[in-house]
Amino acid sequence: MTTVVKTDPAKPSDASIEAAAEVIRNGGLVVFPTETVYGLGANAYSSEACLKIFSAKERPPDNPLIVHISDIGMLKEVAGNVSREMLCKLEEVWPGPVTILLPKSKEIPDTVTGGSTLVAVRMPDNILSLELIRKAGVPIAAPSANISTRPSITDSKHAIEELDGRVDFIFDCGPTVQGIESTIIDVSGGECTLLRAGAKPVEELENIFGPIRLTDFSRGLLESTVPLAPGMKYRHYSPRKKLYLASSEPFIREVSGRNEFLGKILIIGSEETCSKSRLQCISLGNENNLDEVARNLFSALREFDKTQCDIGIIQPFGEKGKGLAVMNRIRKASSGYVGSLDSLLTFLA
Ligand code: TXA
Ligand code: MG
């Protein structure tokens, strides 16, 4: 039985926090909003509770979980050897959509880190999550709340559709603010490496952490092969229907002007692209407002699956700022690129 409770994530009711905190303390699973996406949380100190996350999500056991903390004091309990200098940097980015890899403390079970000696930690910028962690009295291990390989969940209506019956408690708080997951960096090797582009732009993090090394994986390039983080080797963010990334904006506009694709191809693109289209569209928002595009992306992928169209084509966006994360998710959600009408016809055949 899943308890679903509606509350305001910025001003959650005491009763809802108390009920969910009790679930966490008793080793159960709670789906809760963060500023990025919904998380599927359990007591990070309990191996048994965390194992339930993997089965509810159908997640491979070697793909580790992010540990969420509510204040900097809690960091000492989950990670060891954090220098003063690093603490100051973390205080600049937290609470916020930044996850950092640090040496794990012995209190964090191997189940959480997939056997690694490093633990991924973040302090979410969301009042409900912070109060939940505080009230539970333990850090909360939580991956994104989607079933493995599916798009992350950014609206509680999708959490209820996908997880009712699989978890103990779901917070029904509507859409999240950022809509895209946290940025993950690894500072353990002396240099700072981007493991996953996310809601916090790399350019802003470089002002705090110094130069950050980007890899093909950080950009989500389809042809890259060597995973840096365990989760990188798995399929991600995939709608059930085939989605193709248009090789250019003019190409997606050309396709969207052709009546013969009506009912067959769905266009996912900017407001500008959608307003000129003759085909069914899902708008991601203004193409110059990447915050809006990021916020709408995962919900759009889920809504695409509910349409009658055979395949989808999604528009590429610029890769500056949040665009790096947006394009990373789009590339991973896509089955490939499409840049000519001939290849499009073979995908439709
Ligand atoms: O915004 C977010 O980060 C959301 C919210 C709920 O906080 N969480 C999230 O978790 O996106 P998840 O599990 O879907 O993605 C976390 C990624 C995975 O690819 C995982 O492999 C990597 O972080 N990761 C977690 N712990 C790690 C570790 N100890 N070492 C290397 N990679 C790690
Ligand atoms: Mg995920």
180 Cα nearest atom in ligand 1 = 1
Q: How far is CA 316 from CA 124, 154, 221, 245, 287, in A?
A: 29, 21, 13, 7, 10
Q: Is residue 137 in some structural domain?
A: yes
331 Cα–ligand 1 center, Å = 18
- Mean pLDDT, all residues of the chain: 93
The confidence band for 232, taking pLDDT boundaries of 50, 70 and 90, is low
Burial of 325 (0-12, 13-18, 19+ CB in 10 A): buried
Burial of 208 (0-12, 13-18, 19+ CB in 10 A): middle
Q: How far is CA 263 from CA 6, 267, 272, in A?
A: 36, 11, 20
Instruction: For residues 94-101, give the mean pLDDT.
Output: 97
Same domain? For 204 and 315 the reply is: no
Amino acid at 107: E
Same domain? For 289 and 206 the reply is: no
Which residues partner with 99 through β-bridges? 184
Same domain? For 253 and 312 the reply is: yes
144 Cα nearest atom in ligand 1 = 14
Q: For residues 227 and 100, which has the higher predicted lDDT (pLDDT)?
A: 100
- Residues counted in the chain: 349
118 Cα nearest atom in ligand 1 = 29
118 lines ligand 1 (CB under 6 A): yes
Same domain? For 7 and 49 the reply is: yes
Same domain? For 165 and 309 the reply is: no
Q: Is residue 203 in some structural domain?
A: yes
Q: Is residue 255 in some structural domain?
A: yes
210 Cα–ligand 1 center, Å = 22
102 lines ligand 1 (CB under 6 A): no
Same domain? For 92 and 204 the reply is: yes
What are the strands, taking DSSP E only, across 28-68? Answer: 30-33, 38-43, 66-68
With a cut of 60, say whether residue 224 has pLDDT above it.
Answer: no
For position 308, which CATH number holds?
A: 3.40.50.11030
Per the structure, the complete domain to which residue 268 belongs is given by 242-348
66 Cα–ligand 1 center, Å = 5
For position 173, which CATH number holds?
A: 3.90.870.10
101 lines ligand 1 (CB under 6 A): yes
144 lines ligand 1 (CB under 6 A): yes
With a cut of 50, say whether residue 222 has pLDDT above it.
Answer: no
d(CA 261, CA 253): 13
The confidence band for 225, taking pLDDT boundaries of 50, 70 and 90, is very low
Same domain? For 179 and 247 the reply is: no
Question: Of all protein residues, whose CA lies closest to atom 20 belonging to ligand 1?
Answer: 231
Same domain? For 167 and 281 the reply is: no
d(CA 194, CA 290): 20
Q: Which helix (H) or strand (E) holds 48?
A: helix 47-57
Q: Is residue 309 in some structural domain?
A: yes
Q: Which ligand is nearest to the CA of 63?
A: 1
Nearest Cα neighbor of 44 from 137, 182, 128, 129 is: 137
259: phi then psi, degrees, rounded to nearest 5 = -55, -30
Same domain? For 57 and 202 the reply is: yes
Nearest Cα neighbor of 213 from 192, 230, 195, 242 is: 192
109 Cα–ligand 1 center, Å = 16
d(CA 62, CA 113): 8
Question: Of all protein residues, whose CA lies closest to atom 24 belonging to ligand 1?
Answer: 64
Start-to-end Cα distance in the chain:
43
What is the tally of structural domains in the chain? 2
18 Cα–ligand 2 center, Å = 26
Q: Which ligand is nearest to the CA of 218?
A: 1
Same domain? For 205 and 337 the reply is: no
119 lines ligand 1 (CB under 6 A): yes
pLDDT digits (tens, 9 = 90+) for 306-349: 999 999 999 999 999 999 999 999 999 999 899 999 999 999 98
324 lines ligand 1 (CB under 6 A): no
145 Cα nearest atom in ligand 1 = 6
pLDDT digits (tens, 9 = 90+) for 48-91: 999 999 999 999 998 999 999 999 999 999 999 899 999 999 99
266 lines ligand 1 (CB under 6 A): no
Burial of 15 (0-12, 13-18, 19+ CB in 10 A): exposed
With a cut of 70, say whether residue 231 has pLDDT above it.
Answer: no
